[in-house]
Amino acid sequence: MIVTEFARNQWYVAAYGHEVGRQQLGRTILNEPILLYRTEDGRAVAMADRCVHRRFPLSESPSHLVGDRVVCGYHGFTYGPDGVCVAVPAQQRIPRTARLRSYPVVEQDSFVWVWIGDREPGDTLPPRAPWLTSPDYTTVCGMEPLNARYGLLVDNLLDLSHETYLHGGYIGTPEVAETPITTEVDEDAGIVYVSRHMDDAACPPFYAESTGIKGRITRWQDIEYRPPCLYLLHSRVAPVGSPPPAPDGTDEHAFHVEVVYAITPSTENSTYDFWAVARDFALDDEKVSDFLRDSNRTVVLQDVTALNTLEQVIAAQPDRYQELSVNIDTGGLAARRLLARMAAQGDSVPSQAAAR
């Protein structure tokens, strides 16, 4: 079944770094309304987006920032960047319980990650996507809100055979759906790998126009899903007949695109679909950037439209949901199981977890 439970005690992408500034940003993650902003010295902070007084959202005007503090737009309760209330209108005494829950934040690889859970993250750090800020790559990115449960996006991204049908004319060609996959699950690390290596494939416009390749290509799609949130597609394209990567890992005859998604559940039936495309060629070519940004956004919106429809279908008959899995679903089934396990573990109190 599609996973609907949330995996708590995990890192989630709440925003791109460039979205978080001296203006409040409100995001709902795993049903928790969260306020994000940057202090004057540039630090991103996250706290509950509901005033303790009468629950007015601190991300909504006329709530506003004064220095590092946020002032509620309803009656003026004022909070520091740690969420502690520092001023209550017309009285000296500040109730001891007047504090907003604050969230651990890590800013990394252009993302603002927020820890959602009941215990502290400790040494656990978010997974990496270093290409997004590497000087050797140029990145375009965006975020599309999805009105569907996050499990539908996980299913979608783990099975790229849908490119042939849903994204024909952009990234899909017949070879994607025709080529068998290999799947690996690393239980210890909690990672799902799905690989599809096409030896001789048509070059879809997405790659033909960005790389300038005219003929057929060798096309490798190596998915690395680090549940719950981070999805990496290591994409390699090269003209057919080009030498394979050298034993030392260098691969100068191929073009590399790192397609990164962050899948952040918002509510039971809505999801933030963060997407980024990092390339190691035509680094300074604005036209290539514009083309890849437009194309990938179009592709993401094709998925969004399809998944929004699917959500309606599934939500209409929750107890009559039936599906049929075939070979292309091998990776998606693995991802579902890891997510279900993480959701079960994240809910258990630590003593129970230790007893397992």
Partner 1 sequence: MSARDSGAPAGRTVYRIRWLPGTDRLHASCFCGAEREFEDPVVLWDWLLGHPEGHLPRPPEAHDSPAPAAALV
Residue numbers of the site for partner 1 (CB under 8 A)?
136, 180-189, 191, 193, 195, 220, 222-224, 234, 236, 244-245, 248-252, 254, 256, 280, 325-327, 329-330, 333-334, 337
Interface pick for ligand FES out of 6, 11, 16, 77 (rule CB under 6 A): 77
What 63-68 contacts at long range (C-beta under 8 Å, 24+ apart), as own/partner pairs, is 63/24, 64/24, 65/22, 65/23, 65/24, 65/37, 67/40, 68/39, 68/40
Residues in the chain: 356
- Cβ neighbourhood burial of 217 (10 Å; 0-12, 13-18, 19+): buried
Interface pick for ligand FES out of 22, 54, 101, 287 (rule CB under 6 A): 54
Name which of partner 1, Fe ion, ligand FES, none residue 182 binds, using a CB cut-off of 5 to 8 Å depending on partner kind.
partner 1
Question: Do residues 240 and 254 lie in contact, with contact meaning Cβ atoms separated by under 8 Å?
Answer: no
Name which of Fe ion, partner 1, ligand FES, none residue 56 binds, using a CB cut-off of 5 to 8 Å depending on partner kind.
ligand FES
Under rule CB under 6 A, residue 72 binds ligand FES: yes
Under rule CB under 6 A, residue 281 binds ligand FES: no
Question: Do residues 228 and 191 lie in contact, with contact meaning Cβ atoms separated by under 8 Å?
Answer: no
- Cβ neighbourhood burial of 91 (10 Å; 0-12, 13-18, 19+): exposed
The count of chain residues that interact with ligand FES, using the rule CB under 6 A, is 9
Residue nearest to Fe ion (CB): 303
Strand 270-279 and strand 111-116: the pairing is: unpaired
Smallest distance from the beta carbon of 167 to Fe ion, in angstroms? 6
- Given the structure tokens 């390749």, which residue do they identify? 213
Smallest distance from the beta carbon of 15 to ligand FES, in angstroms? 23
Q: How far apart are CA 1 and CA 112, in angstroms?
A: 30
Smallest distance from the beta carbon of 314 to partner 1, in angstroms? 19
Strand 217-226 and strand 64-66: the pairing is: unpaired
191 strand-pairing partners? 186
Interface pick for ligand FES out of 51, 112, 143, 304 (rule CB under 6 A): 51
Question: Do residues 109 and 132 lie in contact, with contact meaning Cβ atoms separated by under 8 Å?
Answer: yes
Under rule CB under 6 A, residue 291 binds ligand FES: no
Smallest distance from the beta carbon of 60 to ligand FES, in angstroms? 10
Name which of ligand FES, partner 1, Fe ion, none residue 185 binds, using a CB cut-off of 5 to 8 Å depending on partner kind.
partner 1
Name which of ligand FES, partner 1, Fe ion, none residue 303 binds, using a CB cut-off of 5 to 8 Å depending on partner kind.
Fe ion
Name the residues that contact Fe ion, by CB under 5 A: 303
Q: How far apart are CA 91 and CA 245, in angstroms?
A: 69
Under rule CB under 6 A, residue 56 binds ligand FES: yes
Smallest distance from the beta carbon of 156 to Fe ion, in angstroms? 6
Under rule CB under 6 A, residue 168 binds ligand FES: no
CA 355 vs CA 345, 349, 350: distances in Å? 12, 10, 9
Residues that bind ligand FES (CB under 6 A): 51, 53-54, 56, 72, 74-77
